[in-house]
Amino acid sequence: MKKFFKVLMIGIFLMPLCLSGQDILLPSSLPSEYIFSLGPNGSPTLITQNKVFTLKNKWTFTSLERDTIKLGSNLIKSLGPFNNENFILFNNSEETKLVLCGGGHVLSLKGNFLSRIDDSVIQRNQHKASTFFYKGRLYMYGGYGFWTFKNYITYLDKQTGQWEIVLPKSKYIPPGRWRAIAHSFNDKMYILGGRYNPSESSQKDVPLNDHFYFDLKTQEFISLGKINPKLPISSYVVSNTRINGKKAYFQNDRANLFDFQKDTLKSYYKKGLFNNINTKKPVFEFNDTLFFIKKTSQSEFLSKFPLNVLNKLTPELYQISYKKPIPFQLFLTIFFVLLACWMAYKLFVFKDFLKGLVLYDENRIYFEEKSALLSPEQISVIETLHLHGQLTSLELNKIITSKKFVKSHFTALRIQFLKEINRIYKNVTGTKLNLIYEVKDPNDKRYKVYKITQQISPKESFINFLFKI
């Protein structure tokens, strides 16, 4: 029993330090306003106005020392809340830079010593701007301040310590914005979306659906068109995180990795993937592990997330750019116009095909625009001559009548029958020649055979001709 209570007490003691093995409770003495960072050696760091907390085996703290000449207590208070919403962080192997949101002051933390590296003033002119470093120089694009959204880029001049404006050399200038998704690499600064107040509407803080990049070499803005509306991005979150060279943004159930060079987004989704993540705090990556702040209704924790967990998920793949599909109505219009043109062409060819032909169907004989009604027996004779080329007198007798007559009577019936067919043929075609004529059978001179003087064919419908290959 004593052993059980001993194990229980050890478990209660260790629970604040290691919840589920990955969640570490933040220090109890930590104030509500603090800046979450990652030290040069990958140690999670919490910065307040008076202390610097560092996690190694456990949370320890040292007093925050300041450059009292350029960073007095009154200036510290005037900077506003000491948190990640008010300061944008950039870490390297030597220091952590804290850039005041809105522009102006830039601080540097080395160890527990905080100094100021600018000679500017608090500007409050580029809140929620896209902030980035390029070749060791600090830049800000866009932002909001003094009731307007900015469409320009500023940079911190190291020699003067002042912020200067970049003068673009392009005619295309995107509308001003804040809260955009941004990523800088390969001499380009990519901007996706953001929010603004459209001049043509009374709506405020409306999402933008464009994306572009600023070429830092040529100083030009290049439009990349509209954004794919299916991208799973719902709101602006703070992020300077890069995973395998891709800009990463995190939500409660999702991690989005933007590859602007390939115009693709990989989105990893799982319910509760980053459960209770505090999106007002940044996410850092070190040694294939993500560090972020988790916030519940009662406490805050530092959470560790191995990247191999993310790699085991199958990502959803999206194209960043919006490729406008052909509207269905336009597609139908184009289809029917092409169909009408094709049918008109085939009709012209069909009429040309019929020109000069003698045709028949089950009821009539046709030539050009004229036609005449024929009896079933007359149609049968024409069809037989078309298929076989000739007809014997015996075969013709069977077609004309099924009765038995003497030879002379059959001869009279054949003469009258052929005379009537030839008369109809001449009326329709306007020719003086007979359609059917009589000759002696070359195999037996005692019998007669019948042939046609004109090629005659079955009448083909336009529908059949239309789809004839």
Does position 5 have pLDDT exceeding 60, yes or no? no
Overall CATH class of domain 357-466: mainly alpha
Domain ranges of the chain: 15-319, 325-355, 357-466
Angle subtended at Cα 183 by Cα 90 and Cα 207, rounded to the nearest 5 degrees: 115
For 349-365, what is the mean pLDDT?
A: 71
| Confidence category of residue 360, pLDDT binned at 50, 70, 90 | confident
Task: Name 86's Cβ contacts closer than 8 Å, sequence gap at least 6.
Answer: 79, 80, 100, 101
For 48-57, what is the mean pLDDT?
A: 92
Using CB atoms within 10 Å of the CB of residue 264, give its burial: 0 to 12 exposed, 13 to 18 middle, 19+ buried: middle
What pLDDT was estimated at residue 13? 43
Task: Name 419's Cβ contacts closer than 8 Å, sequence gap at least 6.
Answer: none
What pLDDT was estimated at residue 168? 93
Residues 465, 346 contacting (CB under 8 angstroms) = yes
What pLDDT was estimated at residue 326? 62
Query: Sheet holding 289-295: strands in order across?
Result: 23-25, 300-306, 289-295, 284-286
| Confidence category of residue 12, pLDDT binned at 50, 70, 90 | very low
Sign for the CA dihedral angle at 377, 378, 379, 381 comes to positive
Q: Mean pLDDT check: name the lowest of 192-196, 290-294, 334-338, 373-377.
A: 334-338
Does position 175 have pLDDT exceeding 50, yes or no? yes
Overall CATH class of domain 15-319: mainly beta
Any idea which residue has 């001449």 for tokens? 426
| Confidence category of residue 19, pLDDT binned at 50, 70, 90 | very low
For 228-239, what is the mean pLDDT?
A: 76
Does position 15 have pLDDT exceeding 50, yes or no? no
What pLDDT was estimated at residue 384? 84
Between CA 334 and CA 131 the distance in angstroms is: 47
Q: Mean pLDDT check: name the lowest of 14-18, 268-272, 279-283.
A: 14-18
β-pairing, 254-259 vs 264-269, is antiparallel
What pLDDT was estimated at residue 388? 85
Residues 221, 210 contacting (CB under 8 angstroms) = no
Query: Sheet holding 44-47: strands in order across?
Result: 35-38, 44-47, 51-55, 59-63
| Confidence category of residue 255, pLDDT binned at 50, 70, 90 | very high
Query: Which among 141-145, 368-372, 396-400 has the top mean pLDDT?
Result: 141-145
Condensed to tens digits (0 to 9), the pLDDT of residues 402-431 reads: 888 888 888 888 888 888 888 988 888 888
Condensed to tens digits (0 to 9), the pLDDT of residues 38-52 reads: 988 889 999 999 999
Mean pLDDT of the chain: 85
